[in-house]
Amino acid sequence: MIDRFALGERVYGPILRGKDALGNVGWNLIQLKLLMKQAVQIMCLPPRSECGPIFTQRQKEGKELLTVEQFIESYKAWEAYAKNMFVYDYTRPHAQQFLFRMLDWRARW
């Protein structure tokens, strides 16, 4: 199992440190390993409308590292990577439909 580190590094590395420690080679290697294992990648990505208020609250509490511009940039990056993954919006009560989509995809694979 790979936690969000690999994808998080792709998104936040350039924004917070000016570089992605994985690079394209590292990212492609991880993707190849996942493909070889026939792994399914699931991204939990709520809509911006849900993230915005949480971001604002975290800023007020002094717990947020990102600026507004960085937040917007990071969300766009998450969306771009989501095109190659199953996306689960945990703010919606349709987990069963999501599960069936995954099972259908897996059966066809």
CA separation for the pair 101, 15 (Å, rounded): 33
Question: What are the pLDDT digits (tens) for 78-88?
Answer: 888 887 777 77
Question: What are the pLDDT digits (tens) for 54-78?
Answer: 999 999 999 998 999 999 999 999 8
